[in-house]
Amino acid sequence: KKPSKELITIGPVIGANSYDKFMVGAFITNVKLPPSKLQYLLSAMYATGSKKIAGIGFISHSFYPDGLFRKIDLGISGSSFTVDEFTNSTGEKLFLGMNKFVPGIRFTFKEKNPRSSFHRYIQFKTYLFNEDGLRFYRDTIINGNDTTITNKFGKTNNNRTLNQLKFVIENNRVLYPYSGELKIEQGTDFVRTAFTGNYFFNYVKE
């Protein structure tokens, strides 16, 4: 049996936000239906406002073990955009960006009936944020008896990490579907938990 050829799509992409303004670029992806084990999407755009390269992307690989889990998904996603800007009294601009990388893994449990509408999984992700901050400082120049002090500004580099663990149960049955999600998040100096539940009622319209 000959191996099937991988379908790769390449095309243009556009975007916009308040700081990068209009963005134009290209993307490449192999995402299709039915999905392949290895999936990826990469997009890079030139921002006309910040004059920088912005973009988003992800790559993931699915494994199908013979055991407790039906599927294991391992992957990473990322994005890079400008999120703020500063303009001083002379009109100089400084664009502040943010880069986000999110590695993660999901374990989807195997159900007794392959056609079951019941769906359970455990997911762990780490959100890695790299953000530009604004820094003000003074520059002193001494020339003989003359001292000149000028106010200047620049960037600082800030890193943050958020760990997230989710337990999810879903039943997408036709009558009375429901879902529940327990989420635990941990960052610097905090741990928080949250639970979200949904239950849908079906009724006859009179």
Query: Distance from CA of residue 82 to its chain's centroid?
Result: 15
What tokens were used for 112? 């007794």
Rounded to whole angstroms, the Cα distance separating 17 from 95 reads 13
User: What pLDDT was estimated at residue 2?
Assistant: 52
Phi, psi of 32 (to 5 degrees): -155, 175
Q: How many CB atoms lie within 10 A of CB 125?
A: 18
Mean residue pLDDT of the chain comes to 89
Res. 175: pLDDT tops 80: yes
Res. 68: pLDDT tops 80: yes
Q: In which band, very low, low, confident or very high, does the pLDDT at 205 lie, cut at 50, 70 and 90?
A: confident
- Name residue 89's amino acid: S
Question: What would the pLDDT profile of 129-151 be if each residue is shown by its tens digit?
Answer: 999 988 888 777 777 777 777 77
Q: How far is CA 102 from CA 56, 125, 162, 203, in A?
A: 11, 6, 10, 41
